[in-house]
Chain A
Amino acid sequence: MERRFASIWFRHLTTDWLALRQPALRNMPFVLAEPVHGRMVITAANTLAETQGIHAGMVVADAKAAIPDLQVIDYPPGLIEKLLEALGLWCIRYTPAVAVAPPDGLILDTSGCTHLWGGERPYLKEIVTRLRDRGYDVRMAIADTIGTARAIAYYGKDAPIISSGAEWDALSPLPPAALRLESDTVHRLRKLGLRTIGSFMSMPRTALRRRFGPELVERLEQALAQKDEYIQPLRPIPPYTERIPCLDPIRTATGIEIAIQRLLEMLCKRLANEGKGLRQATLYCHRVDGKMVQVAIRTSRPTAHVPHIFKLFVLKIPQIEPALGIELFIIEADKVEDADPVQNALWGGVPGPEDTALTELLDKLAGKTGILRVSRYLPDEHHWPERSFRLASSIGENPTTTWCEDRPRPTRLLAKPEPIEVSAPVPDYPPMLFRYKGEVHPIRKADGPERIEREWWMDKGEHRDYYQVEDDGGRRYWLFRSGHYTDGQPQRWFLHGFFA
């Protein structure tokens, strides 16, 4: 397949951004500087400063000598990376595969995308205009290889679109620095009088490698499409994804609903054809103002049933803030599993198809904002009450052990045992009475103790001696004493639950 790449060069990435944030800076020379070995060194200068001879790498003191009213602003660490990533994410509307090329560029894999904008020229024009409108000074080029696109974007003088096979001619008038070389290689090339790429392009590769190292040959071959080069996309491209670009920005809930419906129809048709179902999906809404909002849904079993997934998304629509409008909807199936065409009975006695309605109900409940958790519990092999059950990993998981029913357990368990005051006649006997929340409960009947040891491999602490007690009103409680009886120390008693 023919591959096409676009390279975008932000000529004044950081200063343009700063001028956007502080419009007052637009009409005065200013630089960003950071301390290097105790001196303030300029990292970026805006166009006005550059025309007066200030450039990156200068010491601030020298620049100030040249322009006394030069504004010097501290360079916020990590700014370039953050800006490039944000701009790269913004570019996802033009192609799913965007990579950052620090310190000041982006690489777009435009293969198979440009026809959506009516060809490469309108595509390039659209991106450049939109970025320039936002205030970024950019140059862009499209070519068959990353190397050539980048070289043309940074150093090209005429046409920014290089047709397939024309790399050789396009590269030959450019200086060697266009090939992304180390500075001493560039220096050595210039020393030998090789001032354009064309002057050494046709030399034998072995000679070039011997003289200038393997890097030059590799870069040259990459630029000429003789060697493959790959980009690392900002966001991995999920295998199941669909997108709808909108001609006019969408601002209403109905509009969003229609977009979701269409996206789901496309996605689910594909899933159903392949016998898959989604477990998790995310809807990304790219807004006109460059921000992105996203909502995600989960299902408890793989499904490709459009009305059901649609209902789950509809519950999330209130969370989508369209602001000035949404211009691109992308749906991604983050987690896809093989859908089971034969639905097995998950619950004893309930026939197959019925559980679809049930899981759909659970998905709906789980998707609602106010619902914190939908859980099912299975027995776990622990005596410690709080750990005697565990969350089921899926809705259809069967218990591996049986529920323990030979010990009395309270129907209501306090999340945290509450301390009580107790008077017990003899050590290891059930107490005579206890005081809980100011009320005294004389104990009439009692069972116990049931000693439950703490699982030392999981946490530290005292064991518990549990008693089931009943007071004079017939109310039944689960009390425990923490630890052994020791002389001279008060006993710590707790109330942990209420029996039926």
Chain B
Amino acid sequence: MAVLSDDKRKLIGQLQKHLLRWQGFKPSENHPEGIGLGPIEKAFPNTIFPMGSIHEFIGTTPEQTAATSGFIGGVLAALMRKGGVCLWISTSNRLFPPAIKLFGVEPDRVIFIEARREKDVLWALEEALKCDRLIAAVAELREMDFSQSLRLQLAVEKSRVTGFVLRSNPLRVGNTACAARWHITPLPSEVEEGMPGVGMPKWGVQLLKVRNGNPGYWEINWSAGQFMDASKPAKVSELPMRNRKIG
């Protein structure tokens, strides 16, 4: 392969950035500083968490689904910081509303939709993603094939709503048109040396697939109402009193 000169490389880099911008990876006017995911955001093209696209979360056990719900809650909190509403669509209605308050989402600003079948969840999600007044829509789905995900992706490209698909224990993972595929696993929480009790939630965040980005693995904590890079643990004494763990 021919070695590219620095100028050319710079030019190509700039062109790539333009292309991404046209594809919709532009900094949102509401979130110029990102959504607080720290190092993970660097994995995305232009180092911007893609809003207005579909994110797919794979969870194989109920514990992972619970961890994923918490993680999505944290992302939703950042997206909904300036107000707005989001939808949570499922067939089981297992999410415990008071708990997402702990991740910064006002549970009364989430509208829960219970559907009879998976098909109805998909229909509701597509309708919701077409409505540009929403901030985000979360759907708990088991199976989703490529054409279904493409329909969702086309809907969000018009409305700029962020869609989250939480797939618990799918039979076939398959290929989808989603912007990113995540896998969140719960990790042993960290407590200060010699202290009893359970610490703040800690997750292993794995980006299995990122469109135009770099997959990777990170460990993060949820503490003081925000995501924290687990490699630089925060001292409990630095946390504001109201965010310390009680119980």
Residues of A near any B CB (own CB < 8 A): 347-350, 354-355, 357-358, 361-362, 364-365, 368, 370-379, 385, 388-389, 392, 398-399, 403-415, 444-448, 450, 468-470, 472-477, 497-500
A-B contact count (CB 8 A): 198
User: With A and B bound together, what is the CA distance between A403 and B106 in angstroms?
Assistant: 8
* Segment at the interface with A among B19-27, B43-51, B91-99, B169-177: B91-99
- Asked if A470 contacts B110 (CB within 8 A), the reply is no
Q: Are B113 and A373 in contact (CB under 8 A)?
A: yes
A416 CB to nearest B CB, Å: 11
Residues of B within 8 A of A477 (CB): 63
Q: Is the CB of A376 within 8 A of B112?
A: yes
Given contacts A379-B98, A409-B98, contact A371 B247 (CB under 8 A): no
A180 to chain B, nearest CB (A): 54
Contact of A444 among B66, B100, B131, B188 (CB under 8 A): B188
- B111 and A374 contact, CB distance less than 8 A: yes
- A499 contact from B66, B85, B185, B191, Cβ within 8 A: B66
Which chain A residues border B84 with CB–CB below 8 Å? 347, 349-350
Q: Which of B67, B108, B112, B114 lies at the interface centre, i.e. has the most chain A CB atoms within 10 A of its CB?
A: B108
A293 CA / B61 CA spacing, docked (Å): 46
B198 and A385 contacting across the interface, CB-CB below 8 Å = no
Cross-chain contact of A468 among B67, B94, B106, B198 (Cβ < 8 A): B198
Our pick among B83, B199, B246 for the contact of A407 (Cβ within 8 Å) is B246
**Could you tell me which B residues sit within 8 Å of A by CB distance?**
61-63, 65-67, 69-71, 73, 82-85, 93-103, 106-117, 119-120, 123-124, 127-128, 131-134, 185-189, 191, 196-199, 201-203, 222, 245-247
Among A375, A403, A409, A498, chain B packs the most CB atoms within 10 A around the CB of A498
- Residues of chain A with a CB closer than 8 A to B123's CB: 368, 370
A478 to B6 Cα, complex, angstroms: 57
Give me 19 other A-B pairs in contact (C-beta within 8 A), A371-B116, A445-B189 excluded.
A349-B82, A357-B132, A374-B111, A374-B113, A398-B108, A406-B246, A407-B246, A407-B247, A408-B198, A408-B246, A411-B66, A411-B70, A411-B96, A445-B197, A447-B197, A474-B188, A476-B198, A477-B63, A498-B66
Docked Cα-Cα span, A354 to B103, in Å, equals 26
Residue of B nearest to A355 (CB): B133
A398 to B108, alpha carbons, bound, how many Å? 8
Indicate if the CB atoms of B188 and A470 lie closer than 8 Å.
Answer: yes
Task: Name the one of B94, B103, B116, B128 contacting A372, with C-beta atoms under 8 angstroms.
Answer: B116
